[in-house]
Amino acid sequence: MLKITVAQLNYMVGDIAGNVAKMIAAARDAAAAQADLVVFSELSLTGYYPGDLLDEPDFLARTAQGLADLQAASTEFPKLHWIVGAPLAREGIGKHLQNALVVLKAGEIVLRYAKQLLPTYDIFDELRHFAPGPDVARVLRIGSTQVGLMICEDGWNDAGADYAVNPFSRLADAAPDLVVSINASPSDIGKREMRHQVFGDACRRHGFPLLYVNQVGGQDTVVFDGASFAVDARGAVCYEAQRFVEDVTTLSFDDGRFASGTGAPLAPVDPKGISTMAFYRAQIVLGLRDYARRCGFSKAVIGSSGGIDSALTMALAVDALGADNVVGITMPSVYSSAGSVDDSVTLCRNLGVELITHPIAETVAAFAKQFEASFGQPLKGLPLENLQARVRGTTLMEFSNAFGHLLLTTGNKSEISVGYCTLYGDTNGGLGLIGDLYKTEVFALARHVNEAAGRELIPVAIIDKEPSAELAPDQRDTDSLPPYPVLDEILKLLIEGGRLAPAELAHATGFVAALRAQPGGDALVTRVRGIIARNEYKRRQAPPIIRVRSRAFGSGRQMPIAAKVA
Find residue 442's DSSP bridge partners.
Answer: none
DSSP E strands: which ranges in 381-477? 406-409, 431-432
Instruction: Confirm if 524 and 490 have CB atoms less than 8 A apart.
Output: yes
- Among the options 22, 105, 126, 152, which is catalytic? 152
Give the rounded distance of the alpha carbon of 337 from its chain centre: 36
Give the rounded distance of the alpha carbon of 372 from its chain centre: 46
* Distances in whole angstroms, Cα of residue 424 to Cα of each of 179, 185, 257: 51, 34, 57
- Active-site residue, 451 included: no
Distance CA 58, CA 301 (A): 35
- Active-site residue, 42 included: yes
Distance CA 529, CA 480 (A): 15
CA trace torsion 381, 387, 393, 394 (10° rounding): 180
Contacts of 149 (CB under 8 A, 6+ apart): 83, 101, 103, 111, 113, 138, 139, 140, 179, 180, 181, 182
- Among the options 3, 42, 489, 492, which is catalytic? 42
What is the rounded end-to-end Cα distance, in angstroms, of the chain? 62
Distance CA 149, CA 545 (A): 34
Three-state secondary structure readout of 195-241: HHHHHHHHHHHHCCCEEEECCEEEECCEEEEECCEEECCCCCEEEEC
- Among the options 115, 413, 492, 538, which is catalytic? 115
Residue 108's φ and ψ, nearest 5 degrees, are -115, 150
Contacts of 429 (CB under 8 A, 6+ apart): 396, 407, 408, 409, 410, 543
Contacts of 217 (CB under 8 A, 6+ apart): 10, 11, 12, 223, 224, 286, 290
DSSP notation for 258-322: EEETTSPPPPPPPTT-S-HHHHHHHHHHHHHHHHHHHHT---EEEE--SSHHHHHHHHHHHHHH-
- Active-site residue, 152 included: yes
Alpha helix (H) residue ranges in 49-111: 57-74
Strand-pair category, 222-225 with 216-219 = antiparallel
Q: Go through 217-253 and write b for each residue having 16 or more CB atoms within 10 A of its CB, e for each that does not.
A: bbbbbbbbbbbbbbbbbebbbbbbbebbebbbbbbbb
Q: Residue 501: how many CB atoms within 10 A of its CB?
A: 17
Alpha helix (H) residue ranges in 75-177: 167-174
Q: Which residues are part of the catalytic machinery?
A: 42, 115, 152
